[in-house]
Every structure is written in C-alpha cells, then in structure tokens.
Structure 1
Amino acid sequence: MDRGPRDPEAQRAATVEAALAALGLPSKVALLGGADMWSVGPVDAGSAGVFGRLVLSDGPAGVRGESWTPEDPSLALPSPTAIGATWDTEAARTAGLLLAQEARRKGAHAVLAPTVNLHRTPYAGRHFEAYSEDPQLTGVLGAALVAGLQEAGVAATPKHYVANDAETDRFSVDVRADGRTLRELYLEPFERIVRTAGPWLLMAAYNSVNGVTMSEHDVLNNGVLRGEWGFDGVLVSDWIGARSTLGCVRGGLDLAMPGPDTAYGEHLVAAVREGRVAEETVDVLARRVLLLAARVGVLDGAPPAVPDSALPAPLDGPAAVRELAARSFVLLRNDYRGEPVLPLEPGGPAESAESAEGGVRRIAVSGLHASAPRFGGGGSSQVFPEQVSTPLDALRAAVPAGTEVTYEPGPDPRSLLAPASGTDGFRLTAVLHGLDDAELARVEQRDGSVRWMGSLPGGIPFPDLGRVELVGEFTPGTSGTHRLAVRGVGHFRLEAGERVLYDAELQAESEDPAAAFLNPPQRTFLLDARAGQDPLPVRLVHSVPAHGVGGLFGLVSFELGYGPPAVPEQELIERAAQSAAEADCAVVFVGTTEESESEGVDRETLALPGSQDALVARVAQANPRTVVVVNAGAPVLMPWREDVAAVLLCWFPGEAGGAAVADVLLGAAEPGGRLPTTWPDAEDHLPVRQVVPDSDGQLPYAEGPYIGYRAWLRAGEAEPAYWFGHGLGYTRWEYEFMNITAIGVAGDSDGDGDPYRPVAKITVRVRNSGYRAGREVVQLYLGPEGPDRRLASFAVVEAGAGDAAEASLPVPLRAVQTWDETRLTWHPCPGPHRFAVGRSVADIRLTAELELKLAD
C-alpha cells in the first residue's frame, strides 16, 4: 500500500509526531486533562502548529453541546432502548448520523455515546440509556451508531467500560465477576465495537471491577482493550472519575475530565520531574490525544479523517426522529374478541380483513402522558428540544373530520411538580447578580428550570456569580389552592405576592456528587389564588456557592415547580371511565416519571407510579376496546395486560414521539419494534434483582453469564410477561424454510484473528401472509433449548402483502465460542450446533443441526 506523503493517514501520523516533538512536558500534560467542563486545549506547539480547542458533548439521545439549558435547544432522539427495539443496524446508523449532524451544529467534535452497558436487571435506573440485555444485539447496534457518527467526522465514545450496569454507589461499587461472565457478556459489546467500528474514544466507568477502579485498570485497559483488541483511540474518564495520578497513568487513561483541576495537570508534571513517571509514558498518552485531534480536524496540518467534501448529505432531523420512533414501537398485544383492534379505523367502516369491527368515530384518550409525554430519560442524556409533539395533539390533528377525540388526564403520577411554564400562567426571567449585587445578565426563561453547566450566559465567570433570581408573574387560570415548589441544592428564598413561602437551605439527599443536579430534593408550598385576579409577582432567589454545586465544576441548577389545585384521584379516574364508556374505543397513556427512571438512582419498584394501574383497570372495565400506550424506557409491570385489547410500547420516543404514536395507532406506520429485553410479569419472578452492594462495597454478579432471557430460561419456574424478541406488527408472517452453508475457518482461540467473521451463513425465507405490507425481524439463536441458547444473528426484512422475502444471517465465529476460565482463552462450543430461527427466543419456527468444524 502506498503510504507516501499524499496518504492522509500517514500525513496525520507525521503531523502528530511533529506536534508531540515540539511540546514541552507541561504542554503535553495539558493535553491529558480538560481545560474546562467540556473541552481540551488549545495548546500551542510552536512551529508545529496548534492543537485547537476540542469539544466533547453528552449523548446518547441528543447532543447538548456546551450548554445545558432549554434556551439552547437540541434535537431529541428516541432513547437507546427504542433504538435497541428496532433491531435494525440502518436505524442505529441513522441515529449516529443525526448525532453527528447535531454535534457539528453545536461545535462539538466528540459525542459521549453510545451507552453499551447491559440490561442486567430492570431495577437499574439508567436502563433506558442502554440498548439491550443481549451482548450481541447491543454490540451490533452500537457498532452501527459509531459508524454513523464517525462517517460524519465526529468521534464516538462507547461507554461505560465496563460493568457500569446500575446506579447505586456507582462511584465506589466494586463489581465482582468471573472471567467468563465478563468476556461473554459485559466486555463483548465493547470488543465488537472496537474490532468492527474503530471508535476514536472510549469512556472508562466510575466503578471498580474485581478490586480495581476502571480508570486505573491495567489488565482491562492496557491488556484487553489495547493489547488484545487493538484499540488505538483515547480512553477518557467519566466526569470526575479520575482520582489517582499514578493509578490512572498505569491504567492507560489518556484524558481526565473535566478540568482544569484533574488528577493529571501539575500532579503529573511533578510525578515526571520526581522520576515517578517516565516522560515517555506521558508521550504515549499525549500521542493518542493528538491523533484524536487530527481525526476530528483540530490539529493544524493534519487532514481530518472525514474531509468536508466527504460528509454525508444532511438529514431532516424531526422527520428522521419520527420514523425512528415508529420503527421502535413494540406491539405487545392486539386482540379484541379474537380480532386486532389496531390499527384504528376512524371515521368509517373497516377496510381490511385484519381491522377491528366497525369504524371509530369517538376516541376517549386518558392519562397524563398523552398531553405531557416523556420524550427522554433523566440525567446526563437529557436534552431540551425546541418543540415536543404530544400524542393528544397529534391524534387530534390526524383523525378525519367527524371523528372526535376527548381527553381526561386522570391522576398525576408524578411525585414532583413539573417546572412552571407559560401554559400554567407564568412569565419568568433569570437575573444573574455578581458578588457586589450588581446585575450581570438577564435571560428570558422558557420555563421554571434554570440549568447552566460549565459556562454562564454572557460568558460570566462562575467565581463572579453571587446569586440567581428567577423573577416574573403568575396569572392563575383556575381558583383554588395552587402549589409552588423549589427544587435544587443550596439556599433558596421563594416569594409569591407579599408572602415569603420559603427561606432556608435544601440539602442533597445522596452522597453521589452528581445527585445535586440530577436528582435534587424538592419542597412544596401552598398558595391560594383565584382566576381573574391581577398577576401575582413571583421571585425565587438562589445564593450560588463558589464554583457551583459541591465545588466540583461550574454549575447552577434549580427549578421553580408548579401544580394546579388538586382534584381527588378517584374523581379523575371516574371522569376517564365515563368518557371511555361513551366512546367507540379508549386509549390510555401510562408511563414512568422523572423520579422513577433517571441517572443517579436505581428503581425501587417496577410498578407504574401513582394510580395509573387503577386508571387502566377502570377504563378497561368501562370499555373493553381499550388500547394502552406505555411511555417508559424500561420494563414496567402491567397487571391489566390481559384485560385490555392492545398494549403498545412507545419507549421514550424523542421529540416527534407524539406524531409517531398517532401514525402507528391510525395505521400510517407499522409498529416495527421487537423487545430488546425480556419484560417480567411480577417482581418476585425476576431472576436477577440485586443492584445494592454488600457491606464491603462489592456487587457480586453471582448469576454469571445468565441474565435476561437466559436467566428466565434457567430459572424455569415462571414465564415472563413478554419474551426477548417479542413484537406483533400489523401483519402475519410464515417461516417457510432455512438453508445453512458452512464456511471453513480456523478456531482463532489465541484471539489474534477476527472473531466476527462468519463461520456459517443462514438463509431464511419468510412470507407476509397478511393484508398489508410489513417488516419482520428474523432472529437466529444457537445452542440447545434452555439457558445456553443465545442470539447469534438477526436481520430485518420487508415484504408486501402475500410476498416473500429472504433474510441473510451470517453466524460469526464468536457466536460458537465460549470463554475457558482455565486456559484463559476462547474455544469452540462442542457440536453438533443447533440453529433455531424464530420471532422471539420463545417463538421458534424453524430448527436445524449442523456440525461446524472449528479448530480449538
């Protein structure tokens, strides 16, 4: 291969070496830590050029950029669980392209995505941010998203390496797992992504694994990640996850974030000058950061990995998000007296043999999530979209004239009041004051949420900020006892009219440093007001501690919450039931809340919050043609699932989720998703539940490699509500035949070869035997019946009514290997190898056996 001076890769390498040679020790060390919350550099390399300012941004369901505020909106994508439910590599690649497009718009060079931890248990609070319980599905989709991001010249950052699968004590927990469990489950998605997609960054997790924190884990970072897999990118800490200068250097951590006060900096300079760290070791770390800068185009003289002329064509963001959402929705149930109730046929008689009886002229919608849906999960993945489509508005806009859509919100399932907004009657402005009480800046607020991280409006330095006031007016729309709330950490003074409702300190309820802004406490106060009165002046004053919450980094985060006068819950439920009784069909929207699914805290129960189960049960009693739409990023219990006509899972669908829900309910789009995770029927039946470390701070993965569907198959005592891979769609599929072609390949037991090249190719022909076009996810499992059966390959096919389609399913070598704890290497699973093709792990349609000849 010609690797002369015209070769971009050779030119990048030469430029990196020239820049490294021109840097002194302090400048090289400056590359290894953040300059602020989100960026590295710039660093002047003299005649060799300049390392420009390299900006990282949170993901993975949107790109926030350097601001975390509603005043700087971002495109909100469906949650990673939704992307996982597509089982579609092209959908994941599209998500990556959208993230890259947003990153470029916001001036970011790297996105902290995808999250490829596993759904070990649905109690994990950040479950919605990862794809699946299955390592193969996770790895394939994660690699596709990385490819989409980097195809557009933006660095991907798979995270959190490794075993960061729950939130409880996540900074200190020590995960204990044997080699087989780590290799076959938790390391597997990272290995596939590194080997097949070549990410330019990777994030080390907060937690420890077998006694060593991941930012310092020499064996897993230097030995496995770099030595075995060949990772040549930057290993970055999770934010504030780098704690020891020498430990991080020995563990191969290239970049400590955020800055400027990190475990590196002056500490590392001193360690080199005192002879405790060799400067050549610093060079190794700095070289990788320089290569990253070259790849994303912020190193002078180095051609970027993707020049502007090669960037992909721009996407219509809202349209793409809407399509991704519909493709992810999972139809769990669709049976009204032996016939499907969905899709709804509004305004007239049914047009197809698969439609439910009669036309629909009145639809009774209920549930708060219809008018206030959760488009994304809480925590660092949260973004603020410019506009959110609600299912209620979208349904009303989509039904034809003559079809009525009524609405009853039912009981509010939230235990926390939402930020006060214009629709509640508030007009608010944030006013920033300096230490000398002078006004520094004034910002019009979209709602009562104030959040700035890393930077302040107008470029005001954090040390100059003394307090923030949220001031404005409240015009009551109804008479009664209204509720105002303060949420945050620190000192607050709340005034309404001439009353002082609160003047005291709010303390964080967790030792997790991030909890101060991810899950702060809230205090609620009552305010009597009547409709028609003059607007009430409202003022919430927050005294800002030096450098923000906890002194960790610049951060201001608090909320003014609001709730209207309360109505008894049973009255709200009866209103919804009465409306349903008078309608042709009922659609109830239920889901989780910010309190029940968020980064920083694990779930205590899988039950739907509040009285939502009672709402569904009562509406279904009033109208048996009840459809339930579940707006949740992770499994919830559905005790009423057999008593309703249909259950549609819409996940956290992103900003266009309401329009996508209307598309699917009315048949303009098919619910194309399949479950990426097994959904339990009851909490007592969950085979893996533990997320709380023991008294020694250890969390044993005692179940070994048996999580998800393999754990359910192993337990064998109870059936889940819905198995991994389940999903109905709007048509029927027949599986006609499968062909297997073996491909000769060496065993690769030493790990030097490609474990993802195929050892067999499966061709499956399926036929759409329904009345409309549809999509099918063809799933291939390997192994005997029982807990050792595992997903090996999958493919999405499309076909019109009556047409056939063929799915091509390559079987990678890794699918027929297992980790040998004694020999510390991979070896082939013994044959004969049983192939099972079906619509879920529990709905197998075709099977065959073939002896694959694999070297050990």
Structure 2
Amino acid sequence: MKDLTLEQKVRLLTGEDFWSLYAEPAIGLRKIVVSDGPAGVRGNNWDERDRSANIPSPTALAASWDRALVERLGRLLAAEARRKNVDVLLAPTVNLHRSPLGGRHFEAFSEDPLLSAELGAAYVRGVQSGGVGATVKHFVANDSETDRMSVDVTVDDRALREVYLAPFERIVREGVWAVMAAYNQVAGVTMTESPLLRSILQEEWGFDGVVMSDWFATRSTVAAANAALDLAMPGPDSPWGAALVAAVRAGEVPEAVIDDKVERLLRLASRVGALAGSAGSAIPPAPAVEIAALSREAAARGMVLVRNDGLLPLPPVRRLAVIGPNALHARTMGGGSASVSPTYTVTPLAGLAAALGDSVEIVSAEGCFPSEKLDPVPLEQIVDPADGTPGLRVRFLSASGAVLAEEHRESGRLTYLGSFAGADAAQVTAIELSARFTAAVAGEHALGAAGVGPFRLTVDGHDVLDQVIDPPGPDLVEAMMNPGQAVTAVRLAAGQTVDVVLTHSLPPGNTFPGAMLRLVAAAPRRTEDDELSYAESLAASADAVVVAVGTNEEVESEGYDRANLALPGRQDELVRRVLAANPRTVVVVNSGAPVVLPSAPAVLLTWFPGMEAGHALADVLLGVAEPGGRLPTTWPAAETDVPVYSTRPVDGGLTYAESIHVGHRGWLRSGASPAWWFGHGLGYTTWSYETVSVAGDGVSVQVRNTGPRAGREVVQVYASRPGSAVDRPVRWLAGFAVASAGPGETVTVEVSLPARAFEHWDAGGWAREEGSFTLHVGRSVVDTPLEVEWPGLKSGE
C-alpha cells in the first residue's frame, strides 16, 4: 500500500462498475466481484443467461430453527458464488420483522433478535467457510421500505442495543468480513455517515472488515469518509473519487483515514483470494443433484404445519384436486435484489404429480386471478426472427436507428444494470424486442409491455400500442419489481404466427446503462367467476383437495411495503368456496410473510420455498418428510390486533415507540391473541416434555416422542423476570435447540443460554439485575410446560 499514490488509493474505494471493484496490478490486487443474495447467488447478470440455485427464502430458513442446516446452505451458496466467479455475497439480511407489512419481510429471518442472530451467524459461517465473503446488512434499523432512502428512525438506546443491533453484534464478533450501511437515517444522521460505524462497529466490537454502502446510499464526500464508510457502491461515479482526493489535500479527511480503508479492503481481498499470495478458496461447484437434494430438504424443514385436524399426512386417494394460483405457479422468492433466475422451479402441481404418479387422478384449476398484471410472454410461444431459435432478439438503437449492439434472449423479462450488451450507453436511445409469436389457441390474446417510459408495440407491422407507462412509485426497485403495464387485445387463430416488435425509448441524455422492460402476453381464459365455479366443481368431485394461495413479488418486494395483510384478489373467496364444496381440504399458504386468511381444518405454511418447492411440498403433504418448521414470526388473525403495524413515516420520521416490545413481546404485552404464536408448529408425532435442569451455561431438557413415528422437535427456552425493576418483555427467547427421536424414544437436549439473554442496556453499558430469572421451556412462547429458576447475580457480584 505504501507504493500507491493517493489517487490510486482513493480509486479503490469506489466500485469500478455496478458489481465489481477496481483491480490494482501494482500491488497484485485483482478485481473483486460482489453479488446479491440471500436466496441464491445472482452473479453479474440479472437474467436467464446466468441461472442460479434458488434456495428457500430467509423466513423459510428461520422457520427451521436449525443452525446446522443453515450453515450447510451457506456453504452451498459459497460453491455457487465460486462457480459464478463471485467473491463477496451481499447477504444475510438481519433486520427484524418489526411490522408484518414490511415489504422485505421475506428476506429477513425473524421478529426475534436472538433467533435472527443465531441463524444469521450460521449463514455467515457457511458462506465464509467456502472462502467467500458474507455481508451482513442493512446496518441499522432498515426494517421497512417506505421512504427507505430518507426516513429518519427514532429508536431509544435500549431497543437499539437489545433488539436491532443484537444480530449485527453477534455476527460481527464472530468474524463477518463485510457490513452494509443502510439508506435510512437514525437520530437524524444517514447511516453512511453515522458515528455508529466507528464507535460501535470498529471501536466497541472490533470489526476489522469492510463497511460498504448500500447501492447509491453514499450522499457525501467528507462526512461519509470520516464516518468510517470504506467502500462507496456502485461505481464508477460516486461522491468520492476526485472529490475525496481534493478533500484529503485540503485537510478535511486525514490520509490515515484513507489508508485504514484501503487496509480493510486489502484484508478482504486476501480473505477471498483476490490478492497476490493469498490462498483463496478452491471450493468446487456443487453437483446439481446435491443442490436439489439440499434445497428440497431445507424447503420441507421450513414448512410450518400450524393446524391439522387429522387431514395430514394425506391418506391414499383416487382423485386429488390441486387448486389455486400458487398451485399452478411456483412462487419461490420475493422481489428485489433478493431475486435470481432459478435453474428451474417445481410447481406444487408438478411436485404432487411426480410423487403420486399414475395411481392417482389429479385435476387442477387456477381458481382465481389475484393479479391483473400479465406474466412475461411464454418462451414456448416465441422464436427469435433472426435465427429461428426459441426466444427473442434484442437490439440497442441509436437516435439514427443504427444498431449499436444486439443479442438473443430466452425470456420476455429483461433487466439491464451496468451494461447494454457492450453498447455505449450514452448513444443508446431505444431498446427493441422482436419475436415471432404463435397463438396456442384461438381468440383475443392480450399483448403488451411492462416498464417505465414510452413503449410502442407493433404486430405484423401495424401499430397496436403507443403509450407512456408511469412509475408505480418513487423507488427504483419498485419500478423494476412491480412496473405498470400497457396491454392491448389482438385476435388470433389457433396456430397463427405474427411478428411482434416492442420498442422502448430511453430518456434523453441517458448515460447509465440501466433499464427494465417486459414483453407480456396472456391467452384467452375463463372469466374469474367461471374459474371460481370450475374450481368448486373440481373440489366437490375429488377425494381430497390441496388449495394453494399466497402472494408474489408484486406484493412482497424490496422498494415498497405491503398495503395490508389480505390475500391478493379473490383468494379468500376461493378458499371458502372450495372448503364448502369439500371439507377434506388442505390450505397451503405460499407467502414470505404473514397473511390473514379464512379458517381451515389443515393449514401448511411454505413461505417462499425455493426451486424445489413442489417436490418438498409433496414430501410433507404425503408424510415422506416431517413438516419441520416452527414460526419465526407471530402470525396474526386480524390486522387490527397487530401491536406494531404501520411502516408509514410521519413528517419524514418513523418512531419505534414500542421500544423493546417487538413481535411476540408486543403481542404478549398487548393481551391480544394472534392466529398462531411465535415458535408454534405441529409435526406428525407428539411430544412430552419430561424434565428440565440447570446445567452449566444452559439447561438440560428431557423430551419424549410419544407418537407413532420418528419426528423432530424444536426445544425453546424463554426467560421472564416477574416484578423486575426494569421494563421487560413478559417473556423473551433465551435459547433453543433441535431434537430428533424415534417413536417412544426419550432424548436429552442441551440448550445453551448466552449471558446476554439476562442483561439489559442501561446508561451506556450492559447491566444485570440481582436475583434469579424464571425459564419457561416448551414448544412456543405460550406453550411451555416446564419451568426452572435460572440463578442470577448475588449482591456484590
């Protein structure tokens, strides 16, 4: 580093482009590549040309309560990262489920700081054991999406320390290699300039890694540099560069501060093998069969059976109805930077059909249409007019109509961030998509565009659409994940082929190579009323019904919060009508976060379960696998009962008035009853909690499998302190462990309890009351058949 000029050093502190950092041959530093996560490793391209293993979303992982499983998945992601030449994964997200309306709820683990900390640490261990850097994010209090770029969060010191910083502290002290600073403000200071970066991360916790900004979150030169931000992303443009060099020359930023940032960056480079002489990782790509098996296991392990009146496992049937918008479509992940292009996806319908084979007649229906928006045009209906292969042709045009670059694509959904296929972004004024579209059936087909800005659509050379689509909201990611659409009807005969050209004009003076556009289409279909009636008739004719409902990336995404907790569209009506037609109905809820839904005799929550969704669901429904999940977040019965609901800032600010009483803590304090409590989940066997005793730094719990088959139990330990002089939750999670046992078998489970579980933040430091605490041991925060006293501090200690 001593051989580098100031300009060379400062150059290293801003990305070279959207996803990579500058190389510096003078010191043997190669380019470092970063990539979004956490449900897969996207790589440099956000499209179908670079497909990714899509593991279950973090809420599904947290529902497993299984550190070892999450660590295995982290190592799988490290192998995926190396396959894609990625050095640093931008995950995990350990912000909390403060409100169920949080748009990014699915991407964070839990409402509880301890559960989030333990599983986040396991995720990081797995990733970094493969020589790939993990990036814990978003530091801190970025727990909702509304006005996330500017919202000023007010949170008291105790809640900040005990709740929101707790997962970060656990993961940083264990040795994470990178931390991402959030967009929001805390106490009036934007996080990329926050004194917490230096005072807490570096000085108190001893963090020796890199603090990078969230993308475009660096708002200043001097304040951000002096606040211990190390890396401004993305590049090459940022408030740093020449401005930071000038600030150092002017004495506004000490050069020693720059040297510290470069030293941290080089330490990261050494850890990931990007610096000459560093070993790096030789972790090989994971075999496809291994990826599939682990993804399937993890998906099933996270599924939570919240109610079962004897319907599951499904008994042998001759005719099974599989109904619902989320039965015929695999909703495997939420929207935003957490999304990837999966290698493949298995729908619930396909998974059940594969498992049951020809021995069972399966009938299916979508049941209702919860979204008014169309999906991208199906690949099987389009060919590239240039070469006749499945897909479409994309051309990047200049103002004169000259073709600056072109490429073949195999998806009607296109996202460009950082590159227009090598074309000079300043010269590109339009993007043109062309395809030969063949109608599968006769009738009025819907064709159109999704995106932001001017779109023109022609069919066989005739203009059928010319419209400007407005952005849905102020956030860039909202425009990418939930764009507006412009659609027209085109009457076609079955088998008729037409030439379709969609042209998207870019704003004048565009210099950043970024755009999102979709060619969308839909075939003629029943009216929704007819579809609901058809689903009813199928349900009535079947021996049993699986109805799969839920959300999608339009509802749950980075960039915006949810408007409410209702199932989109007429899905409630679908569930009620199917149940009325056939009470032998299992309701499968495919969402990343809680929804309010009608009562049903059997309810299984699958979260966003990743690419093996259908196979894992079939395993659980048929009893091949245990529904191993327990709720990582409290599931409300009614929106009006939720203790912390709104995510909407008032006058630019969002006050965490509930302090430490988040999630189940808030529910217990309010006296309201949710549909299902934090920690709840049923299996296919029963358990008896026999004894508990204090043992060293934890407790020893004996549990007995009293049911007819092997099973898995999550032993949960909660603490309480009746009569405390300190404001405390009614109960709070102090520890947990997973147990497995055969029928009739008794096992002993050791649950370690961290000292911090019994401490509170007081006047700038950690404190502990004298006297004992009560420990409650059981299956959820309210189902705790065993109790034991935990010895506390004695006077004078």
Tell me the TM-score normalized by structure 2.
Answer: 0.95
Paired residues for 1:754-769 under 5 Å: 760-769=697-706
Matched, 1:588 2:547: yes
Which residue number corresponds to residue 201 of structure 1?
178
Look up the SS of the partner of 1:514 in the other structure.
helix
Q: CA deviation at 1:312?
A: 10
Q: Distance in 2 between matches of 1:584 and 1:519?
A: 38
Give the 5 Å matches for 1:666-745.
666-695=622-651, 697-716=652-671, 718-742=672-696
Contact kept, 8 Å, 1:724 with 1:840, in 2: the verdict is yes
Q: CA deviation at 1:800?
A: 1.0
- Which amino acid counterpart does residue 108 of structure 1 have in structure 2? V
State the number of aligned residues.
783
CA contact (8 A) 1:482 1:529 kept: yes
Match for residue 848 of structure 1? Answer: 788
Greater alpha carbon shift after TM alignment, 278-287 vs 564-573 = 564-573
Show the counterpart of 1:438.
402
Q: Which of the residues 562, 570, 580 maps onto 2:521?
A: 562
| Distance in 2 (alpha carbons) for counterparts of 1:215 and 1:535 | 53
- Select which of 745, 752, 756 maps to 1:810: 752
> Per-residue CA shift, 1:382-418, capped at 9, x if unaligned?
1001211111011111115331111011111113211
Say if 2:214 is the partner of 1:255: no
1:22 counterpart SS class: coil
1:547–1:330: structure 2 CA closer, same or farther, 3 Å change rule? farther
The one-letter amino acid of 1:488's match is G
SS at match of 2:201: helix
Picking from 13, 30, 42, the partner of 1:64 is 42
Q: Which residue of 2 aligns with 1:496?
A: 459
Q: Which amino acid in the other structure matches residue 210 of structure 1?
A: A
Distance 2:688 2:782 in 1: 16
Map Cα deviations across residues 306-347 of structure 1 (whole Å, 9 max, x no partner): 553x87987811211111101000001110xxxx2111132x
One-letter identity of the residue aligned with 1:327:
R
Superposed displacement of residue 546, structure 1: 6.4
For the 8 Å contact 1:593–1:609, the answer to whether it is kept is no
CA distance in 2, matches of 1:419, 1:244: 39
Deviation >6 Å, runs of 4+:
310-315
Give the alignment of 1:509-658 within 5 angstroms: 509-532=472-495, 534-545=496-507, 553-638=512-597, 640-641=598-599, 644-658=600-614
In the alignment, which of 665, 668, 685 is matched to residue 621 of structure 2?
Answer: 665
Secondary structure at the counterpart of residue 159 of structure 1: strand
Q: Which runs of 5+ in 2 are unaligned?
A: 384-389, 723-727
Tell me, in whole angstroms, the C-alpha distance in 1 between the residues paired with 2:509 and 2:233.
Answer: 16
Out of 824, 845, 848, the residue aligned to residue 764 of structure 2 is 824
- Give 1:826's aligned amino acid: W
Question: Structure 1 residues 311, 563: closer, same or farther in 2, change over 3 A?
Answer: closer
Contact map agreement 2:718 2:733 (CA 8 A) in 1: yes
1:240 aligns with 2:204: no
Q: Which moved more, 1:438-447 or 1:94-103?
A: 438-447
Instruction: Tell me the amino acid that sits aligned with residue 710 of structure 2.
Output: A
Deviation at 1:285, TM superposition (A): 1.1
Amino acid at match of 1:487: A
Alignment partners' CA distance in 1, 2:557 and 2:12: 32
Aligned residues: CA RMSD: 1.8
Tell me the residue number matched to 2:719. Answer: 782
Change (3 A) 1:424 1:573: farther
Match of 2:366 in 1: 409
Instruction: Compute the displacement of 1:264 (Å).
Output: 1.2
Tell me the distance in 2 between the aligned counterparts of 1:564 and 1:704: 51
| Aligned with residue 216 of structure 1, among 193, 196, 204 | 193
Q: Which residue of 2 aligns with 1:420?
A: 377
Out of 295, 298, 315, which is 1:345 matched to? 315
Residues 690 and 704, structure 2, Cα contact 8 Å, conserved in 1: yes
Q: Secondary structure of 2:577's partner?
A: helix
Specify the alignment match of 1:466 in structure 2. Answer: 429
Distance 1:580 1:566 in 2: 20
Tell me what 1:754 maps to.
none
Instruction: Tell me, in whole angstroms, the C-alpha distance in 2 between the residues paired with 1:765 and 1:455.
Output: 58
2:136 pairs with 1:158: yes
User: C-alpha displacement at 1:423, in angstroms?
Assistant: 4.5
- Give the conservation status (yes or no) of the 8 Å contact 1:482–1:527: yes
Q: Percent identity?
A: 49
Q: What is the CA distance between 1:668 and its match in structure 2?
A: 1.2
- Secondary structure of the corresponding residue to residue 764 of structure 1: strand
State the Cα distance separating 1:498 from its structure 2 match.
Answer: 4.5
C-alpha contact (below 8 Å) 1:151/1:312 kept by paired residues: no
Aligned counterparts of 1:648 and 1:283: Cα–Cα separation in 2: 53
Q: Which runs of 5+ in 1 are unaligned?
A: 1-19, 347-359, 743-759
Which residue of the partner structure matches residue 745 of structure 1? none
Whether 2:341 is the aligned partner of 1:384: answer yes
The answer (yes or no) to whether the contact 1:75–1:655 under 8 Å persists in 2 is yes
| C-alpha separation in 1, matches of 2:689 and 2:112 | 24
Query: What is the aligned partner in structure 2 of residue 746 from structure 1?
Result: none
Residue pair 1:175, 1:701 contacting (<8 A) in 2 also:
yes
Match of 1:844, SS?
Answer: coil
In 1, Cα distance between equivalents of 2:770 and 2:663: 23
How far apart are the structure 2 equivalents of 1:454 and 1:517?
15
State the shift of 1:818 in Å. 0.6
Amino acid at match of 1:137: L
SS in 1 for 2:10: helix
Q: What is the letter of the counterpart of residue 522 of structure 1?
A: Q
Q: Does 1:429 align with 2:392?
A: yes
- Residues 132, 138 of structure 1: 8 Å contact kept: yes
The CA distance in 1 between the partners of 2:472 and 2:539, in whole Å, is: 41
CA contact (8 A) 2:467 2:486 kept: no
Summarize the Cα distance change of 1:239–1:575 in structure 2 as closer, same or farther, 3 Å threshold.
Answer: same
Greater mean deviation of Cα atoms: 175-184 or 364-373? 364-373
Aligned partner of residue 771 in structure 2, secondary structure: coil
Deviation of 1:573 (Å) = 1.3
Q: Which residue of 703, 708, 718 corresponds with 1:771?
A: 708
Counterpart amino acid of 1:431?
Answer: V
Q: Does 1:187 align with 2:143?
A: no
CA positional deviation for 1:294: 1.1
Measure the CA separation in 1 of the matches of 2:780 and 2:29. 50
Paired AA for residue 328 in structure 2: S
| Residue 733 of structure 2 is aligned to residue 791 of structure 1 | yes
Q: How does 1:91-110 map to 2 (within 5 A)?
A: 91-110=69-88
For residue 351 of structure 1, what is the aligned residue in structure 2? Answer: none
Alignment-derived partner of residue 36 in structure 1:
17
Alignment map for 1:248-287 (pairs within 5 Å) = 248-287=224-263
SS in 1 for 2:632: coil
- Three-state SS of the structure 1 residue aligned to 2:454 is strand
Contact persistence 2:397–2:432 (CA under 8 A): no
Q: Which amino acid aligns with 1:709?
A: H
Q: Aligned partners of 2:770 and 2:106: how far apart in 1?
A: 36
Instruction: Report the Cα distance in structure 1 between the residues aligned to 2:446 and 2:787, rounded to whole angstroms.
Output: 61
- 1:92 deviates by 1.2
Alpha-carbon spacing, 1:836–1:243, altered in 2? closer, same or farther (3 Å): same
